[in-house]
Amino acid sequence: MNSILVRKYNQPVPRYTSYPTVPFWKEQIGIEEWRQAFKAKFEEQNHTNGISLYIHLPFCESLCTYCGCNKKITTNHKVEDEYLLAIEKEWVIYRRLMKQMPVIRELHLGGGTPTFFSPRNLQRLLSFILKSSIIHPRHEFSIEGHPNNTTKEHLKMLYNVGFRRISYGVQDNDPEVQRIINRIQPFENVKRATEMARSIGFTSVNFDLIYGLPLQTPESIERTINQTIELRPDRIAFYSYAHVPWTSKAQRLFDESHLPSAEDKISLYLKGKELLVKNGYVDIGMDHFALTNDELYKAWKEGRLHRNFMGYTTTSTKFLLGLGVSSISDTGSAFAQNDKTLHDYYASVAENKLPIKKGYFLSEEDEVFRRYILDIICKGEVSFEEAHLPLLEQYTFPILAELEKDELIVWDKYGLNVTPQGHNFLRNICSAFDLYLQRSAKDNKNLFSKAI
Ligand code: SF4
């Protein structure tokens, strides 16, 4: 990989889990308008591909200081009951908007720490949702597990409900790095949790790793990756640490002098990527790597990938319902994000109201440019629509000319193909189609993290 280009394109750019991206959404949307958009798209999508469901479970027992997720730190497990009651209420409110039984194609439990909840409580939640749904015959159910508290009982229960994928937050195996990020997680725990999932029958294990954390060195990253390769997870997400202390207050606990410099961070990334690729992991794009036997790789090869707030997905659903505090729903033509604090979330559902905080209704132009961005991320190619040539000429083509000079793409006025080199810079290529970013007079430096 060309390190000069890595330096040149290491700019603040979105990860494009949505378009328009969240900073450009409206602070308030009309609930009635959202209900209508939800109903119309649900009817259309449910019987074609089924729907995706994301449930946010926000509690964690201790604070990892790098964390940018919506979470609530507590060791009091009595909170589980109140939260599950609220999710069940929210599901009932949405169920009233659905004329047909929902067909659940994809279900993901994310957090926070979903395995903070007891197996019995998770089972209660899943039974409540699934008893009034149809499970798609080719469903994909997955969960984010913490290696420290995922138990055999969790895994057995989830397996019996139909879960086959688990994603473990590993981040870094080095004890010094773990100490400074306040995530003490011995490698033995990661090994035990991985082997337990496999022995129970989980067919896809993902590890999340992070580069750019305080005290990381090329040697420590190498050790973490080599230990990871030993366990052979089917997928690896190798994320860049986003240092955004103005939004993630816990990051203020770091002494910034412990963070690697921009140059060192690039070296950590290049080292990690080189090791992964050398050991049989294929770079799918946008920080994701997969072994060739994994469904993510197969879907990428066959042009079946999709991307939403859960990251890359291998199912073809275009309708995502997010339940729980801060969750995001995506009907394909509208986004809505739930209340971000537990207090507001509980208050809304107690009044039988949809707990929506902000969102966005896409215009026709948004839908077309969203498709361009998704095609680049998921397929590495895109065809342009003639009707949008004036906009493309104004905002996009000048950037494409520059990207072509660096051999990241080949293009003409009919469309674009990403080159093998360009595959490393998908976020930058997508940003050429982000009309909000291009038109925005805002200081984008503080809106998004750098590509590396
Ligand atoms: S990184 Fe995960 S476990 Fe740690 S505080 Fe954030 S959500 Fe909780």
Highest mean pLDDT: which of 7-16, 74-83, 250-259? Answer: 74-83
pLDDT at 441 over 60: no
- Cα–Cα distances (Å) from 349 to 81, 343, 366, in that order, read 15, 10, 31
* CA 245 – ligand 1 centroid, Å: 16
Considering the chain, what percentage of its residues have pLDDT values greater than 90?
A: 80
Question: What is the Cα–Cα distance from 171 to 169, expressed in whole angstroms?
Answer: 6
* Banded pLDDT at 444 (limits 50, 70, 90): low
Ligand 1: residue whose CA is nearest its atom 6: 67
Average pLDDT over residues 46-75: 94
Ligand 1: residue whose CA is nearest its atom 7: 112
Is the distance from CB of 208 to CB of 237 less than 8 angstroms?
A: yes
Question: What is the Cα–Cα distance from 310 to 53, expressed in whole angstroms?
Answer: 10
Average pLDDT, the chain: 93
pLDDT at 290 over 70: yes
Q: Is 445 buried (19+), middle (13-18) or exposed (0-12) by CB count in 10 A?
A: exposed
Evaluate the omega torsion of the peptide bond into residue 112 and state whether it is cis, within 30 degrees of 0.
yes
Pocket residues for ligand 1 (CB within 6 Å)? Answer: 60, 63-64, 67, 69, 71, 111-113, 146, 169
* CA 190 – ligand 1 centroid, Å: 16
pTM above threshold 0.75: yes
The ligand 1 atom nearest the CA atom of 60: 8
Weakest mean pLDDT among 25-29, 43-47, 189-193, 350-354: 25-29
pLDDT at 15 over 60: yes
CB neighbours of residue 184 within 10 Å:
12
* Banded pLDDT at 442 (limits 50, 70, 90): very low
* CA 451 – ligand 1 centroid, Å: 22
pLDDT at 217 over 60: yes
- The predicted-structure confidence for 141-164, as pLDDT tens digits, reads as follows 999 999 999 999 999 999 999 999
* Banded pLDDT at 183 (limits 50, 70, 90): very high
Name which residue leads in pLDDT, 162 or 444: 162
Question: What is the Cα–Cα distance from 402 to 428, expressed in whole angstroms?
Answer: 11
* CA 133 – ligand 1 centroid, Å: 30
Considering the chain, what percentage of its residues have pLDDT values greater than 70?
A: 97
CB neighbours of residue 93 within 10 Å:
16
Name which residue leads in pLDDT, 144 or 314: 144
- The predicted-structure confidence for 317-361, as pLDDT tens digits, reads as follows 899 999 999 999 999 999 999 999 999 999 999 999 999 999 999
Is the distance from CB of 174 to CB of 216 less than 8 angstroms?
A: yes
* CA 307 – ligand 1 centroid, Å: 23
The ligand 1 atom nearest the CA atom of 111: 7
- Selection from 443, 99, 79, 445 nearest residue 243 by Cα: 445
* Banded pLDDT at 263 (limits 50, 70, 90): confident
